[in-house]
Structure 1
């Protein structure tokens, strides 16, 4: 399982670079002389050696090799949450589960999406976890490591809304109902996520497939003359099957699909 996945452009989420712990990815206008793994950014406003992403377990760090440009790392799920990486800063840690590196390039802003799907969460309430019987002081089980959830989903994120919308027909008593199309998911989520569009739904389906560690079925991994639709349908089927089999999405979660929007919409 790869810890970090870099999507070179938001417009093409299928173009992914996968990094395992300890791997690095250099990026810039030209490749380094030492033949490091490299992502080419052919823009005159990008430094020849612009920076480097390093995979460190369940998080990653960013090095800024530009002598003058500050890089911004945004949390697309946050209400403007971001960090700045100053010129020359090396190995700045990035805690976001998914992030977007924004590079100033002349009069343009270039973006790189970075996913960290191996973020794990402690199972609160478990006998050997925080707030469980062995944790009355709230400081964790001192006799061992905390229990880690098998499927680490954050139910406050938009990817969980997408998963819930995909599961909705079958959770409402139609076990053999066809899965919603991407357009139907967009329509279902628009009242609580006004900016939603096809690309955003497809992006979140792709992210869920990575986060839940699904492997492509042999028939969906074959040649795809009709474009990405076949692979997308295979991902939707696998996601819904897994979510319902292990109760990752339950009937009570459907309330989130009709909850009123409060404050700034989640991104």
Structure 2
């Protein structure tokens, strides 16, 4: 199962993406290996610019350049980024969504590509607290010197969730909006699933710059992340996502609150 997806600028579909399984590497540059690398025609990119190596839950970036620093930003956050210095080997990138900026000039646009890591895992709270119920004075950093514990001092299941979702990402907003009507009525099989236009309008109060294209992209990403095998028909995909999310409690009634608050 692949753990990293590299999406070149101008990519027109999955057939133009690069999908890496854990341990596999993709080199990129102005003259990348034919058939086994990502070629970037920008004149500011080195012939051999770098490589990406996939792991199970993140990826690492090596910068072959001797004079260019690469910027890797998380487009889902407010300015979160890392810099990979010239010659830096095996820099770990923790973002599920990342934009890699290789170069930028005053007279021409910059160059880069997107990297997706859909296999990010999250631990599952056991549902009980170490040291007593909520409100017993525990701290978030574990036991205090006086032996007391805080309300957020959870114990965790050592196994990751089978279908990990980051509740701060746009894709979770989209999935919640898809499931909203079914959760509010309790009639999942009978409630029509909203289309992209309806989802866009529903999400605009909490995602002001949302577009139909962004909603459609997140729906496609959810299909990849949750490993659903469905026909390419958009309505079928949306219906399958709702059935799957409700079946495995990926979205519950309490999650509807994210539709009322600003996603940061």
**TM-score, normalization by structure 2:** 0.82
Q: Check whether the contact 1:10–1:111 (CA below 8 A) recurs between aligned residues.
A: no
Where in structure 2 are there 5+ consecutive unaligned residues?
Answer: 133-141, 144-152
Q: Using CA pairs below 8 Å that are at least 6 residues apart, which structure has the higher relative contact order?
A: 1
Where in structure 1 are there 5+ consecutive unaligned residues?
Answer: 222-229
- Please say which of residues 166-175 and 64-73 is displaced more in the overlay: 166-175
Q: Secondary structure at the match of 1:243?
A: helix
1:156 to 165, 168, 178: 168
Structure 1 residue 6, shift from structure 2 partner: 1.1
Structure 1 residue 121, shift from structure 2 partner: 1.1
Query: Take 1:19 and 1:92, find their aligned partners in 2: how far apart are those partners?
Result: 17
Q: Check whether the contact 2:103–2:112 (CA below 8 A) recurs between aligned residues.
A: no
Alignment of 1:186-265 (within 5 A): 186-215=200-229, 217=230, 220=231, 230=233, 232-259=234-261, 261=262
Query: Take 1:108 and 1:257, find their aligned partners in 2: how far apart are those partners?
Result: 36
Structure 1 residue 132, shift from structure 2 partner: 9.0
Match of 1:53 in 2: 52
Q: CA RMSD in A?
A: 2.5
Query: Take 2:131 and 2:50, find their aligned partners in 1: how far apart are those partners?
Result: 44
Distance change in 2, residues 1:198/1:11 (3 Å)? farther
Match of 2:3 in 1: 3
Structure 1 residue 78, shift from structure 2 partner: 1.4
Structure 1 residue 2, shift from structure 2 partner: 1.0
Alignment of 1:59-138 (within 5 A): 59-106=58-105, 107-125=108-126, 131=130
Structure of larger gyration radius: 2
Query: Take 1:194 and 1:58, find their aligned partners in 2: how far apart are those partners?
Result: 30
Structure 1 residue 140, shift from structure 2 partner: 6.3
Higher strand share: 2
Structure 1 residue 62, shift from structure 2 partner: 0.6
Structure 1 residue 103, shift from structure 2 partner: 1.8
Structure 1 residue 131, shift from structure 2 partner: 4.6
Matched, 1:28 2:29: yes
Q: Check whether the contact 2:27–2:50 (CA below 8 A) recurs between aligned residues.
A: yes
Matched, 1:168 2:170: no
Query: Take 2:12 and 2:111, find their aligned partners in 1: how far apart are those partners?
Result: 14
Q: Deviations over 1:112-143 (max 9, x none)?
A: 1111111111112257xx8599xx866968xx
Q: Deviations over 1:165-222 (max 9, x none)?
A: 111222232532222111111111111111111221122112211221212x3xx26x
Q: Check whether the contact 2:29–2:38 (CA below 8 A) recurs between aligned residues.
A: yes
1:180 to 188, 194, 203: 194
Query: Take 1:37 and 1:98, find their aligned partners in 2: how far apart are those partners?
Result: 23
Query: Take 1:96 and 1:237, find their aligned partners in 2: how far apart are those partners?
Result: 28
Query: What number of residue pairs does the alignment pair up?
Result: 241
